[in-house]
Structure 1
Amino acid sequence: MDPLKLLSRATKPSKSRLPAGLSNSPSQGAQASKDVNPRKRKRGEGVTDGSNDNVFGLEFFHHNAAGASQPFRNASRQSKVSQDGSEGLAAKPETALSAELPNSTTLDGEAKAVLNRHKVKITWLNPGVLSQKDSRNCSAKRKPAKPALYPHPLHSIGDLQPRFDISRKLASNLDEQGYVAPTEVQLATLPLLLDRTDSFLPRSLDATESGPYGLDMLTVAPTGSGKTLAFLVPLVHKARHQRRTKVVGDNGQAKAIILAPTKELVSQIVNEGRKLTQGTGVRVVQLRKGMRLIARNDSDRGTVAAAADAPSSGVRTIVRADILVSTPGLLHAMLRDDEISSADLVNVSSLILDEADVLLDPLFREQTLSTWDNLNNPELRVSLWSATMGSNIEELTRSTLERRLKRLREQHGLQVEEAPLIRVVVGLKDSAVSNVQHRLVYAATEQGKLMALRQLLHPTSTSKDIGPSLLPPFLVFTQTIERAIALHSELLYDIPAEAGGISRIAVLHADLSDTARDSVMTRFRKGEIWVLITTDLLSRGVDFRGVNGVVNYDIPTSSAAYVHRVGRTGRAGRVGGVAVTLYSREDMPYMKHVANVVAIAQKQQVRADGGVDNQQWLLDTLPKLSKQEKEKFKKGGIESRTARGKDADPKSARRARISSKSGYVRRAENNRRSAIIGNRQRAPLTVDGGDEIDFVGFD
């Protein structure tokens, strides 16, 4: 094996630095794969003034003869600005209602053209909130129409400060991190979340009725498309605005809560949030055991110093957070055990559900909804974000919003109005990224899958059936923790010592301690680990920007799981990634959902020869599962690969074992192991007097 190849972590280089036009985007498949992602510049490169320059040819707005953007202004909605320009809200260009502008038809037409070009669809799911009369006039059998919305897109990240009056420090932090051009999800959702006037609606709501930031949102966008930045920027801006206006009753309490399914994703969100909030006074905190959010009295305040002096004394640490990030289980447990009360969360006005389809899955649903119900702020706004979101999640969201609204009105006597519910879909809904190569490899047996994985590690040919070789670093996904550990043991010595040996391969799963998990994540991000074997623990949201490939050693249990697994590569439109799914005879009955997603992704990806490899023969051959079988497979996977499968069908469990050893060798090892155990359990030797002695050898 060539160590230089193993050290190669870069993806396929681009021939051109800048895109040719608006068509290059992660949601547009093959065109996106032709260029390196231009969204984010490197530190130290030339800074462009996004307020006036036409960055990367994004023709979002009208331009006069001088080339400057023509502002879309409405004098009645311009906010006052102080003389020094540091306080108040700046006049916001490009946010006026279409009905209030003489050239509104042209402006709406441009916005519609841009959104359609980027495959962004924005739908208003509850338009009846503006007029109860209109809702009553609707027939019970006829549902009200869900109109499409076309807000004016964001021109560049540099436009956030003059257009929406985000703080100069926040704008500086964005520039410091190298953000230049918005991604599709950012150009669509940032104007929605930052527009204080709801001017994108056909008939504007009064800000006093729906709150200063008055909408709920469902966002479905591809993996690696920048969703974290899209919801963090409005949260930081809103928290800073609330600090500046000194909200009554604010005692350092959290103003926003972000829920994510795993500790790794929580840590990543906190890290990104702290980069954005440097120097803004906004605090982003990861919730940990033993924390108290506020000091309720003087004696509590005195414990802060005690906790700092004696961190192991069991004294609870008091923290003040503007944005609190947590897993649903931890926050739910602290609410249940009265470690956090509803009073601690009284000022929470924003709830973000990252990877919402998982958080509202039966595994986390009770914990997530419990937290949601404990937030009694009438101005609470909720947004859900994920790369996959079924219709059941949309229905659950609407019913939860309606139930909470009814409870606040009846139990608390609050006059709460329903907020607009907006759905944003970027690209094809629930589809895998098309800028990576998707391959399905039939391996027949477990031994065949192990051999195929080793052939990907040590390629001996460029067979089209096997597909392109994998360059480190890459991820390998298994169905269970036990299988991840077994596969790690098998591959432990496959990397030669001169290339780093066993230090280059690691396993990560939920049974490891937090310290061990953090260590593995850090080493993988630094490039010290080249092959990381894991479960679905890392399939959600975690951003590894240099991952060159993903191997599904065990097939995912749903199409959504496949989308999220392979989404760890091809981040933000990067090309050169490979997604390989190995399947055996045992997997054949459950492969239909994976093959469908792969076929859709391959249809979007135009190959160099001009053809499309959609493997239609495989789709026609694979059997279909019933709804009950799908649910059973989604919950438990293939039974022979689980612990309970060993008792139910020992023969199938033996065939499903990850091992390159023959049955004869394994039996010999088991016999030897049994002999050693039996020898240790034998009665000790005795002398004539009956005293026990220890045998110390013939010498």
Structure 2
Amino acid sequence: MATFESLGLTNKTLPALKAKGFEEPTEIQTLTIPLMLKNEIDIIAQAQTGTGKTAAFALPLIETLKQSRKPQALILAPTRELVIQICEEINSLKGQNKITVAPIYGGQSIDLQLNKLRSGVSIVAGTPGRLIDHINRKTLLLDEVQYVILDEGDEMLNMGFVEDIETILEHTPPLKRVLLFSATMPEKIKELAEKYMGPYKHLRTRTELTTSLTDQIYFEVAQRDKFEALCRIIDLEPSFYGIVFCRTRIEADELTSRLQDREYSAEGLHGDISQAQRESILRKFRKKQITILVATDVAARGIDIVNLTHVINFSLPQNPEAYVHRIGRTGRAGSQGTAITFVTPSEFGKIGFLKRAVNVKIQKREIPEIQQIIDSRRNRITETVLKLASGEPDQLFLSWADELLKAGESRNVVASLLYHSFSKVIDKSSYRQITSYKKGGESGRSLVEEEGRSRLFIARGKKDGMTKKTLVEFIVKKAGVPPRVIDQVEVFDTFSFISAPFAEAEQILERFKNAGKGKRSLVTKAKKAEHKKRK
């Protein structure tokens, strides 16, 4: 078993590691640290957030770099939260070393950053946009940079930072080490490596792409029943502490409001929230003053919180990479976690693709029944009461108990106390029934209107030059909806069909109705009989 000493670390970093309680390196640290210390080759390291990758590059930097006025190492990260966490980690590991690190990101005072840069820093960690701002101002000089580290490279590319990254790299010396850390390895990462890295070693941990400590399951649930299913999952758990992912800001806001109305401790996080609000919400979440964080993918980037019990995909992630990043936030640091994905009937095919792409077993489970929830909550109350009873209650309450027991029959007194305190907690009527979806039309719905989706008729077909691809492009261009929401495309000689979620379907209908200028719209809702007849 490797030790930090065997990796080549010295007293520059070992005392700090001991003080932090780190006893042995993680797999990515074991692979990366010796290579960085040798300084002979560039590195691509495939590792998820939460695997110790920050220390994997921070420790060799602390060992290698010296105090300087110009940056010797440049670290790029997709979000300000991640930048701050990187800087905090480096400061906690540097011990008595004199090297300095500066976080550079948007939303922070530019004057504060200017003062920090003018005073001299050894390491700069920043987001691409603000780094370019300083490069253009000539307040950030990169001519002495020895290391460039791209953290969460796939996320930066997903967020559209590829041109910014290239601009920054062009301002660095040709002789330098480039290290790229990424949870996944999309083609764009490989293209970036070929263009800007020298000979490199691709490090992969033996750990599965999704952690074995995360129990991955999915529920088949109608769109209208998702909220009820979420409430049941939360209520079944003794201490739920998790992130619920939504696809859009509107969905995140609506879900947060509904959870708060049911008196759950929840807050929402999305791109329209100010930085001050965001920091306040995350601070409360870390302290468990709130236990449910409803977030969009963009808003959740850079969040690194351990001990989450659950990650719930209220909306199916857009791609396998997003799934990996979402569920990688649970099952960390040796703690067991659960990742739950809600799958509507129209998404049955997508969950199969997701399983194959991620190469992991995602088990189908049944949504907890109401009686299961009630029994679970009742058992927890019983355990709590008995545990309290085994101690020494306050004398005031003992005297009060004596009065009550003298005044009434003991069994009735206890039952009345339980009813007064917990009747709402175990009230079956607070839950509603969830309808099951049966394939093959047994549920009473057809392709015309599946759960959460509408079937649309388009008065254009093959004779109009339409193919599946050109039809989707036509709809997207006219209606302004993303192409990924359109599926089940069928093109016939003079007409076509598509399916889309209710909200996007309404948007498509409205846009084409307005474009028709009083004439019959090219796009209308398909009629059940009409669709069957066409088939």
Question: The TM-score by the shorter chain falls in which range?
Answer: 0.5 to 0.7
Residue in 2 that maps onto 1:462: none
Of the three residues 252, 264, 268, the one matched with 2:81 is 264
Structure that is richer in strand per residue: 2
Residue in 2 that maps onto 1:492: 260
> Cα 1:636–1:264, aligned 2, differ >3 Å: closer, same or farther?
farther
List aligned pairs for 1:147-546, cutoff 5 A.
Answer: 155-159=2-6, 163-165=8-10, 167=12, 170-195=13-38, 213-240=39-66, 243=67, 252-288=69-105, 291=110, 318-335=118-135, 338-340=136-138, 344-361=141-158, 363-375=160-172, 377-401=173-197, 419-427=198-206, 431-445=209-223, 447-459=224-236, 469=237, 471-495=239-263, 504-537=265-298, 539-546=300-307
List aligned pairs for 1:567-586, cutoff 5 A.
Answer: 567-575=328-336, 577-586=337-346
Contact 2:213 2:332 survives alignment (8 Å): no
> Cα 1:353–1:441, aligned 2, differ >3 Å: closer, same or farther?
same
Identical positions, percent: 29
For 1:560 and 1:593, the matched residues in 2 are separated by 12
Contact 1:540 1:565 survives alignment (8 Å): no
1:630 shift after superposition: 13
- The answer to whether residue 329 in structure 2 is matched with residue 562 in structure 1 is no
1:52-93 Cα distance to aligned partner (Å, 9 max, x none): xxxxxx2xxxxxxxxxxxxxxxxxxxxxxxxxxxxxxxxxxx
For 2:469 and 2:16, the matched residues in 1 are separated by 48
For 2:472 and 2:301, the matched residues in 1 are separated by 21
SS state of the match for residue 181, structure 1?
coil
1:360 shift after superposition: 3.0
1:564 shift after superposition: 0.9
SS state of the match for residue 441, structure 1?
strand
1:372 shift after superposition: 1.2
Compute the TM-score of the two structures, normalised by the length of structure 2: 0.66
Residue in 1 that maps onto 2:521: none
For 2:353 and 2:17, the matched residues in 1 are separated by 39
Gaps of 5+ in 1: 1-57, 59-154, 196-212, 244-249, 296-303, 305-315, 402-418, 460-468, 496-500, 604-617, 619-625, 652-699
SS state of the match for residue 522, structure 1?
helix
Contact 1:539 1:568 survives alignment (8 Å): no
For 2:74 and 2:276, the matched residues in 1 are separated by 25
List aligned pairs for 1:83-94, cutoff 5 A.
Answer: none
1:427-473 Cα distance to aligned partner (Å, 9 max, x none): 267x211221111111122x2111111111223xxxxxxxxx47321
1:353-391 Cα distance to aligned partner (Å, 9 max, x none): 11111223471111111111111x232211111221124
Residue in 1 that maps onto 2:351: 591
SS state of the match for residue 221, structure 2?
strand
> Cα 1:389–1:322, aligned 2, differ >3 Å: closer, same or farther?
same
Give the alignment's Cα RMSD to 1 decimal. Answer: 3.4
> Cα 1:294–1:265, aligned 2, differ >3 Å: closer, same or farther?
closer
For 2:279 and 2:471, the matched residues in 1 are separated by 37
> Cα 1:539–1:629, aligned 2, differ >3 Å: closer, same or farther?
farther
For 2:332 and 2:91, the matched residues in 1 are separated by 21
Partner AA of 2:147 in structure 1: S
Partner AA of 1:281 in structure 2: K
For 2:89 and 2:510, the matched residues in 1 are separated by 47
Residue in 1 that maps onto 2:485: 638
> Cα 1:645–1:262, aligned 2, differ >3 Å: closer, same or farther?
farther
Gaps of 5+ in 2: 364-438, 440-467, 487-499, 512-535
1:192 shift after superposition: 1.0
1:271 shift after superposition: 1.5
- State the number of aligned residues: 388
Contact 1:214 1:420 survives alignment (8 Å): no
Partner AA of 1:393 in structure 2: I
Deviation larger for 585-594 or 520-529: 585-594
1:553-596 Cα distance to aligned partner (Å, 9 max, x none): 01111111101100100113322x11000021343353333233
1:399 shift after superposition: 2.3
For 2:98 and 2:323, the matched residues in 1 are separated by 40
> Cα 1:492–1:164, aligned 2, differ >3 Å: closer, same or farther?
closer
Contact 1:256 1:351 survives alignment (8 Å): yes
> Cα 1:602–1:592, aligned 2, differ >3 Å: closer, same or farther?
closer
Partner AA of 1:422 in structure 2: K
For 1:232 and 1:642, the matched residues in 2 are separated by 48
> Cα 1:529–1:322, aligned 2, differ >3 Å: closer, same or farther?
same
Residue in 2 that maps onto 1:648: 508
Higher relative contact order, structure no. (Cα contacts within 8 Å, ≥ 6 residues apart): 1
For 1:649 and 1:181, the matched residues in 2 are separated by 60
